[in-house]
Chains A and B, each alone.
Chain A
Amino acid sequence: MPLLEIDDLYTNIRLKQGEVKAVGGVSISINAGETVGLVGESGCGKTMTGMSIMRLLPASGYIASGKVKLDGRDLVAISEEEMRAVRGNDIGMIFQDPMTSLNPCLTIGSQIAEAVALHRKVKKAKAMERAIEVLNLVGMPKPQERINDYPHQLSGGLRQRVMIAMALSCEPKLLIADEPTTALDVTIQAQILELLDSLKDQLGMAMLLITHDMGVIAGRADRVVVMYAGKVVEQASTEEIFASTNHPYTEALLASIPKMDGSVARLYSIPGIPPDLSNPPTGCRFADRCRLASDQCRDNEPPLVTNDQNHSFACFHPVGIEANHVKITLKVEAEEIQRIEHADRKPLMVLEHVSKEFDITKGAILQRKAGTLKAVSDLSLTIYDGETIGIVGESGCGKSTTGSMMVALEKPTSGKVLFNGEDLFGHKPKELRLIRSNLQLMFQDPYASLDPRMSVGTIIREPLDINKIGTSQEREKKVISLLSEVGLSSRAVERYPHEFSGGQRQRIGLARALALNPKLIVADEPVSALDVSIRSQVLNLMKDLQRTHGLTYVVISHDLSVVRFLADRIGVMYLGKLVEIGTGYDIYENPAHPYTAALLSAVPEPEPEREKTKVRKIIKGELPSAINPPSGCRFRTRCERATDLCAKEEPPMTSFGALHQAACHFPLISKVEIRTGAAAF
Chain B
Amino acid sequence: MIAFLVKRVGQSVIVLIGVSIIAFILEHLLPGGPAKAILGGRASPFQIAAFNHANGLDKPIWEQYFVYTGNLLHGNLGRSYKLNQTVNSVLATDLPKSIILVGSALILSLIIAIPVGIFQAVRRNGIYDYAATSVSFLLYSMPSFWLGIILILAFAVNLHIFPSEAPQGQTIGAIITNPRAMFLPVITLTLVSYASFTRYMRSSAIEALAQDWIRTAKAKGLSQRVILFKHMLRNALIPIATLVGLSLPSLITAGVVTESVFNFPGTGFRFINAANTEDYPLLLGIIIVIGVMTVVGNLLADITYAVLDPRVRYR
With contact pairs A87-B221, A103-B231, A118-B221 given, residues A152 and B310 touching in the complex (Cβ less than 8 Å): yes
Please tell me if B219 contacts chain A, counting CB pairs below 8 Å. Answer: yes
Provide the bound-state CA to CA distance between A119 and B223, in Å.
12
Quote the shortest CB–CB distance from B304 to chain A (angstroms). Answer: 13
Complex Cα distance, B73 from A391, in Å, reads 63
Q: Is B10 an interface residue (CB 8 A)?
A: yes
Q: Which residues of A contact B7 (CB under 8 A)?
A: 364-365
Q: A87-B220, A102-B216, A363-B3 are in contact. List 15 more A-B contacts (CB 8 A).
A: A84-B223, A87-B218, A88-B222, A89-B221, A95-B219, A103-B217, A105-B235, A105-B308, A106-B231, A106-B234, A118-B220, A150-B314, A167-B219, A364-B4, A364-B10
Q: In the complex, what distance in Å separates the CA atom of A119 from the CA atom of B226?
A: 14
- A227 interface residue per 8 A CB criterion: no
A85 close to B (CB within 8 Å): yes
Q: Can you spell out 23 A-B residue pairs with CB atoms less than 8 angstroms apart?
A: A56-B218, A56-B219, A86-B221, A87-B220, A88-B221, A92-B219, A95-B219, A100-B212, A101-B212, A101-B215, A102-B216, A103-B216, A103-B235, A104-B235, A105-B310, A106-B230, A106-B234, A115-B220, A118-B221, A118-B222, A150-B310, A152-B314, A364-B3
Chain A residue numbers with a CB within 8 Å of B314 are 150, 152-153
Query: Any chain A CB within 8 A of the CB of B130?
Result: no
Give chain A interface residues in 78-125, CB to chain B under 8 Å.
Answer: 84-89, 92-93, 95, 97, 100-106, 114-115, 118-119
Cβ of B311 within 8 Å of any chain A Cβ, yes or no, is: yes
Asked whether, in the complex, the Cβ of B219 is within 8 Å of the Cβ of A93, the reply is yes
- The residue of chain B having its C-beta at the shortest distance from the C-beta of A103 within the complex is B213
Interface of B (DSSP majority class): helix
> Which residues does chain A contribute within 8 Å of B220, judged by CB atoms?
87-88, 114-115, 118, 166
Question: Which of B10, B219, B223, B309 is within 8 Å of A105, CB to CB?
Answer: B309
Tell whether, in the assembled complex, residue B213 and residue A115 are in contact, meaning their CB atoms are under 8 Å apart: no
Chain A CB within 8 A of B6 CB: yes
Query: What per-residue 1/0 map shows which CB atoms of A651-679 lie under 8 Å from chain B?
Result: 00000000000000000000000000000
Q: Does A277 contact B (CB under 8 A)?
A: no
Are the CB atoms of B3 and A88 closer together than 8 Å?
no
The answer to whether B234 touches A105, judged by C-beta atoms less than 8 angstroms apart, is yes
Look across to chain B and name the residue whose beta carbon is closest to the beta carbon of A55. Answer: B218
Given contacts A150-B310, A153-B314, contact A85 B213 (CB under 8 A): no
- Give the chain B neighbours of A115 by CB distance below 8 A: 220-222
Q: Could you say which of B217, B219, B231 has the most chain A C-beta atoms within 10 Å of its C-beta?
A: B219
Pairwise interchain contact A102-B213, C-beta atoms closer than 8 A: yes
B158 at interface (Cβ–Cβ under 8 A)?
A: no
Interface status of B211 (Cβ within 8 A of chain A): yes
A residues 47-75 near B (Cβ < 8 Å) are 54, 56
Interchain CA distance A85-B220 in the complex, whole Å:
9
Bound-state CA distance A86–B235 (Å) is 27
In the bound assembly, the distance between CA atoms of A166 and B213 in angstroms comes to 12
- What is the CA–CA distance of A436 and B197 in the complex, to the nearest angstrom? 49
A457 CA to B96 CA, complexed, in Å: 64
| CB of B255, distance to nearest CB on chain A (Å) | 33
Quote the shortest CB–CB distance from A159 to chain B (angstroms).
Answer: 11
* Nearest CB of A to B188, in Å: 35
Q: Which residue of chain B is the closest to A100 with respect to CB atoms? A: B212
A376 at the B interface (CB under 8 A): no
Contact with A along B21-45 (1 / 0, CB 8 A): 0000000000000000000000000
Q: Select which of B213, B219, B234, B235 is within 8 A of A88 by beta carbon.
A: B219
Given the complex of chains A and B, what is the CA–CA distance between A100 and B231 in angstroms? 14
Instruction: Check if B221 sits within 8 Å of A119, measured CB to CB.
Output: yes
A54 touching B219, Cβ below 8 Å: yes
Q: How far is the CA of A559 from the CA of B258 in the complex (A)?
A: 65
Which residues on the B side are within 8 Å of A166 (C-beta)? 216, 220
Q: Tell me, yes or no, whether A264 is within 8 Å of chain B by CB.
A: no
Closest A-B pairs by Cβ, 3 of them: A87-B221, A88-B221, A88-B220
Chain A residue at smallest Cβ distance from B238: A105
**With A and B bound together, what is the CA distance between A384 and B11 in angstroms?**
54
Instruction: Kindly state the separation between the CA atoms of A100 and B215 in the bound complex, as whole angstroms.
Output: 10
| A163 part of interface (Cβ distance < 8 Å) | yes
Kindly provide the distance from the CB of B153 to the nearest chain A CB, expressed in whole angstroms.
43
Q: A95-B215, A166-B216 are in contact. Are A104 and B311 (CB under 8 A)?
A: yes
The docked-state distance in angstroms from the alpha carbon of A87 to that of B227 is 14
Q: Which residues of B contact A56 (CB under 8 A)?
A: 215, 218-219
Evaluate contact between B222 and A150: CB separation under 8 angstroms.
no
A379–B215 Cα gap in the complex (Å)? 44
Q: How far is A166 from B221 in the complex, measured between Cα atoms in Å?
A: 12
Name the distance in Å between A310's Cβ and chain B's nearest Cβ. Answer: 31
Say whether A104 contacts B221, CB under 8 Å.
no
A548 to chain B, nearest CB (A): 43
